[in-house]
Amino acid sequence: MASSLPAGISSLKLTVKRENGTSGRSRSMANALPRYPYLFFLSSILSSSRLTLPSSYDDFHRCRAGLLGNETQRSDLSFAPRSAHSRQSALLPRSRCFETAATRCQRSSRSNTCPGRAVQARGPEARTQCFGFWKTGGFRARFISESVYDLRSRLREAGSDLLIRFGRPEDVVDNLVGAFKKDGMDVEGVWMQKEMTSQEVQVEGDIKDRLKKHNVPLEFVHAKTLIHPNDLPFEVSETPDVFTPFRKRVEALGPTMVRPCLTPPETFKPFPPSIPSTPDYRLDVSYEVDVDGLLKKAPESVEKGKDQISFHDILQGLLRPLNDTPLSFAMNITEGSSMLQQRHPASAFPLRGGESSALERLDWYFVRGKSADSSRWGKADPPPVARYKQTRNNLIGHAYSTKMSPFLAYGSISPRVIWEALNAHESKFGEDQNTYWVRFELLWRDYFFFAAEKFGNLLYDVGGFERATDPRQAERKIEDGWWKGWDAAKDGPEHVITRLLEGRTGIPFIDANILELRESGFMSNRGRQNVASFLSKDLGYDWRIGAEFFQSHLIDYDPSSNYGNWQYVAGVGNDPRASRQFNCVKQAKDYDSHGEYVKMWIPALRNLPADNVHTPWLIDVEERRRYGLKTTQMDVTMDAYPGRPVIESESWQKHYDRKEGVGSKMHGNPQEKVKDGKVKRYKKLVPPRQNAQWNNGDGRAPQGGYQGNAQSSTMAPNFLPPMYMHNASGASPTGSADHISPSTSTTPSNHAGGSRERNTSGPPRGLRGGIGAGAAIARTGSPGGLGNAYGGASTPPFSGNVRVGSSIRGGQRGFVGGALASATGRTANVHAETGALSKADRESSWRRGAGSTAVNDGAGTEQVSVSMNNLTTSE
C-alpha cells in the first residue's frame, strides 16, 4: 500500500467496534486502526468528492438491470471476498440523485452565467457547470474504475477488503453508519482525505452534517500535497499570489519541507464478518477472470455464470450514458463504446489505473528503466528521469515525462513517494537540473492546491484569482464582451469552438493535440499550454469552455491543477505576465520540428513535407492534390483536412519559412532555467550513450541525450522520433524495409516501405511500428508489456500490415496487444501474434469508427480483421 495512508480514491475509513467494546474512541488514527475490525470503502466509484458520476442513477440502473435480467430484488450485501453475486435494484429516487447543472448555474455568480444551459438541463446528469460536458469522460471512468479494483486487490492481499459503493458520498456514509448502528455496532469515526477545492469541501461539510446525527466524528488526513499544510511557513490564506515567492519560501524549509513517508502495515485486520444492508449500489465483481488484466490471480478456467458480473460489465454500465448521448449539448458526437474503453495504441499514457500500476511506473521511470535495451547498453545507464528536463516538452511516446499525474490525481500514489524516489535516484546518480525539475513541477502542483484553497470558488470564476489579487484589472475582464461566449444550444457545428473541440481548426498543431486528448485521454503539458492559449488568447473565448472540456476528457483531471493552469494561461490567474501568449506555429516548429506528432494524430497530413505540415493552408490546390489531401470542413478524415485555418495570426507569418529542424527545442529548451534553483552535483552523471548509424544522410539519428540504436539504409527522411526509445534496424525503403517512416514522398516506393520495431525487454512501452508507412511490425517481449503497432497503408495500391506481438508471462497473463491500422481505402492487415490479447484491445479500431474482431487460431496467433469506413480486410 502507498506509504502515505490512506491510499486510494477518496477513501474513507470506518472504525467500528461493538457497543460493549472495552475502550473509548481513539483520537489518533494510528491507534484507532488496529484495535477493532475496520472497513475501507469508497463511497463513489467515480471521484466522489467531485460528484462526477457519468450517469444518472436511472441510466445506471437501467444498464445494471439489463445486466441482471431486470432483477429488482434487494441486495443481501454479503461482503466476503469474492462473494457470490447478489442482486439489487436502484433504490434512490431520481430527484435525490444529483443537483442538475441548471440548478447549479442558477446559484452561480454573475460572472459565472452559463450560456445556453437553460435549455440544456437534462435532469440528474453529472455535467460540467457551464457548458454541459460530461464531468467524467470515458478514459477517466476506466482509469478510476481500474484504480478502485486494484485497491481492492491490494487490500485483499493485505488481509482486508474494500467495500465498493456507488452513490453520493454523504448518502453512502450516512446509510452505512446508520446500518451499523442499527445492528448494534458503535462507529468510532470516519476518516477521509482532506480536499481543498470548494466543491469538494462542500461535500465534506455535507458528510460531516450527516454524521452529526449519528454522533460520529469525521476525521481528515492530509495526504494530497507534498508539503503538509501545517508545515507551510505561512498560513494557507497567505499563500503568495505568484509561484516563485511560494517556491523560495518553501524551499527555504530545507530538509523539513517534505515529511517522510509512513511505512505501511503489512497486514490489516480482516473485514467485519457481516456488513449490514444499505440501499446503495454495490459494485462487486463476482466474475474474477482476468479479462482486463486487472487481477493478479486469475482462475481463467472458470466460465462466467449467467448472473455474474465482471469488471468489464461494470465499466460498460458506467460508460453507457456517455456512449449513448452526445459529448456536449452542442456536439452531436457520441463517444463510441469501443473507443472509450480502449487504450489508444499511440497514447502517451498507456498505463492502467491503480497503485500497482503507479508503483510499476515509478520503478521504471526512477529506478529500473533504461532508455534503450539494457542488455545492449549495460547497467550503468541511468533511468529516464536523468533526462527529464531534456525530454519533458516532447510530445510522442510515454517516456518523455513521469506520467505520474493521473496516479497523483486519484490518490494511487503520494507525491512524497515520488520525492523519495528522487532522493534515491540522486544518491546513486547525482542531483542535477533533471531531478530538480521534477521537484519543481511537484511544487507547482502544491502551489495550485494551496492557491485553490486560498481563493475558494474563484477557481471556477471567469475572472479567476485576479478578482482577489488585482480587482481593477479583473473588472475589465469580467465585463460583457471581454470574453466571447459560446452558446452550446445555438451555435452549430461550424462554430469556431465546435471546430476547435472536434480537432478541425485547420491548424494542425492545435488539432493534433485535441485529437490526442479525445482519443487517448491525455495531452502533453506543451499541448495543453498551446491549446489553452489558442482558445483564450488567439480566439478570445471564455477560458472555462476549455477548462470544462479538459475536465471531461483528461485522465489526470484535478480541479486545482486544471482550473489553476487554465487561469494562468488565460491571464486571470497566477501569472505575473498575464498577457503572455503562445505562438502556435512557432511552438509547432520548435517542438514538432519534423511534424511526426501532427502526422501521428492527423494521418491526412502524412504525406506533407515537414516544412509544410504545420501550415497546410499555404500550399496550393495542385500540391494538396499531389499529397493526396482533400479539403473538408466537416470532418478530419484519413485523407481530408480543412483548407483554411479558422484564424490566421500575423505573428505566425515570420515562422512560415522556418525549415525543418532549425531552432528545434525537441531535445530540451536551453532557455528554460531556474535561476536561483540550488542544484548541487554530487556525482557526475553517466553520459547518455548513443549508437546511431545511418547509411545515408537522409535519416536523423537520435540526438541530445537519447539512447537509441538505429540502423537504417533507407531513404526515409523522417525517422522515428528519438523519444520513442527503440531499437530498429533497416534494410531498404521498399518491401521489407525495417525502418519507421512517415513517408514524405509521393513516389510509390516509399509508400511501400515497411517498418519494424522490436523491443525484447524492458518495461511496458508503446511501440510504434510506423505511421503512414506501408507496413509495421512491433513486438514486445517484456513481461507486462504493452506492444502496440500503429501503421497502415497510405496510398493505393499498397497494403499495410500491422503485426503485434506480446509475449506472455507465465503463459496466462493478459497482455495488451493493441493494433491500429490506418489505411486509406486499401487493404490493411492486422496480425496480432499473442496468446492472450485482452478483450478490449483485441478489438482494434480507428477513431473514424473502425471495428475489428479477432479469433485465436489456437496456436497463439490472433487473426484480426479490421474494417474501417468502407474498408474491410482480414488476414
Ligand X SMILES: Cc1cc2nc3c(=O)[nH]c(=O)nc-3n(C[C@H](O)[C@H](O)[C@H](O)COP(=O)(O)OP(=O)(O)OC[C@H]3O[C@@H](n4cnc5c(N)ncnc54)[C@H](O)[C@@H]3O)c2cc1C
Distance CA 261, CA 414 (A): 9
> Could you tell me which stretch among 252-260, 421-429, 528-536, 615-623 binds ligand X (CB under 6 A)?
528-536
Q: Binding residue for ligand X (CB under 6 A) from 148, 190, 438, 474?
A: 438
Distance CA 625, CA 614 (A): 17
Tell me if 566 contacts ligand X by CB under 6 A. Answer: yes
Tell me if 218 contacts ligand X by CB under 6 A. Answer: no
Given a contact cutoff of 8 angstroms between Cβ atoms, the answer to whether 231 and 253 are in contact is yes
Task: Consult the annotation and say whether 846 binds a ligand.
Answer: no
> β-strand 862-868 against 871-873: which pairing, if any?
antiparallel
Given a contact cutoff of 8 angstroms between Cβ atoms, the answer to whether 54 and 127 are in contact is no
Phi, psi dihedral angles at 619 (to 5 degrees): -90, 145
Buried/exposed 137-158: b ≥16 CB within 10 Å, e otherwise: bbbbbbbbbbbbbbbbbbbbee
Q: One-letter amino acid identity for 475?
A: E
Distance CA 594, CA 614 (A): 10
Tell me if 454 contacts ligand X by CB under 6 A. Answer: no
Give the binding-site size for ligand X (rule: CB under 6 A). Answer: 29
CB of 469 to ligand X, least distance (A): 18
Q: How many residues does the chain have?
A: 875
CB of 430 to ligand X, least distance (A): 19
Q: What grid cell was written down for 501?
A: 473541440
Residue for cell digits 505501511?
Answer: 264
Q: Binding residue for ligand X (CB under 6 A) from 344, 528, 831, 847?
A: 528
CB of 420 to ligand X, least distance (A): 15
Tell me if 2 contacts ligand X by CB under 6 A. Answer: no
Tell me if 448 contacts ligand X by CB under 6 A. Answer: yes
CB of 583 to ligand X, least distance (A): 16
CB of 116 to ligand X, least distance (A): 23
Distance CA 317, CA 30 (A): 37
Tell me if 239 contacts ligand X by CB under 6 A. Answer: no
Q: Binding residue for ligand X (CB under 6 A) from 554, 578, 740, 820?
A: 554
Task: Consult the annotation and say whether 558 binds a ligand.
Answer: yes
Task: Consult the annotation and say whether 448 binds a ligand.
Answer: yes
DSSP string for residues in 782-795: -TT-EEEEEE---S
Tell me if 51 contacts ligand X by CB under 6 A. Answer: no
Tell me whether residue 75 or residue 529 sits nearer to ligand X (CB atom).
Answer: 529
Q: One-letter amino acid identity for 563?
A: Y
Tell me if 278 contacts ligand X by CB under 6 A. Answer: no
Report the DSSP beta bridge partners of residue 757: 778
Tell me whether residue 127 or residue 403 sits nearer to ligand X (CB atom).
Answer: 403
Tell me whether residue 566 or residue 815 sits nearer to ligand X (CB atom).
Answer: 566
Tell me whether residue 373 or residue 548 sits nearer to ligand X (CB atom).
Answer: 548
DSSP string for residues in 745-793: --SHHHHT-EEEEEE-SSS-------SSSSEEEEEE--TT-EEEEEE--
> Could you tell me which stretch among 13-21, 112-120, 560-568, 663-671 binds ligand X (CB under 6 A)?
560-568
Tell me whether residue 448 or residue 706 sits nearer to ligand X (CB atom).
Answer: 448
CB of 757 to ligand X, least distance (A): 22
Tell me if 360 contacts ligand X by CB under 6 A. Answer: no
Distance CA 180, CA 16 (A): 8
Tell me if 565 contacts ligand X by CB under 6 A. Answer: yes
Q: What is the DSSP letter of 695?
A: S
Tell me whether residue 374 or residue 525 sits nearer to ligand X (CB atom).
Answer: 525
* 323 CB-contact burial (10 Å; exposed 0-12 / middle 13-18 / buried 19+): middle
Tell me whether residue 559 or residue 769 sits nearer to ligand X (CB atom).
Answer: 559
Task: Consult the annotation and say whether 403 binds a ligand.
Answer: yes
* 681 CB-contact burial (10 Å; exposed 0-12 / middle 13-18 / buried 19+): exposed
Tell me if 558 contacts ligand X by CB under 6 A. Answer: yes
CA dihedral 370, 375, 381, 384 (to 10 degrees): 0
Q: Using CA of residue 571, residue 575, residue 576, residue 577, what is the dihedral sign?
A: negative
Of residues 382 through 421, those in contact with ligand X by CB under 6 A are 392, 401-405, 408-409
Tell me if 529 contacts ligand X by CB under 6 A. Answer: yes
Q: Binding residue for ligand X (CB under 6 A) from 219, 433, 444, 704?
A: 444
Report the DSSP beta bridge partners of residue 219: 191
Task: Consult the annotation and say whether 441 binds a ligand.
Answer: yes
> Could you tell me which stretch among 137-145, 204-212, 502-510, 562-570 binds ligand X (CB under 6 A)?
562-570
> Could you tell me which stretch among 63-71, 437-445, 617-625, 776-784 binds ligand X (CB under 6 A)?
437-445
Task: Consult the annotation and say whether 195 binds a ligand.
Answer: no
Contacts of 810 (CB under 8 A, 6+ apart): none
CB of 483 to ligand X, least distance (A): 16
Q: One-letter amino acid identity for 639?
A: D
Nearest Cα neighbor of 107 from 202, 183, 29, 16 is: 202
Task: Consult the annotation and say whether 515 binds a ligand.
Answer: no
Q: One-letter amino acid identity for 423?
A: N
Angle at 518 between CA 514 and CA 523, to 5 degrees: 60
Tell me if 557 contacts ligand X by CB under 6 A. Answer: yes
Binding residues for FAD: 388, 401-405, 441-449, 556-558
Residues that bind ligand X (CB under 6 A): 392, 401-405, 408-409, 438, 441-442, 444-445, 448, 524-525, 528-529, 532, 550, 554, 556-558, 561-562, 565-566, 569
Binding residues: 388, 401-405, 441-449, 556-558
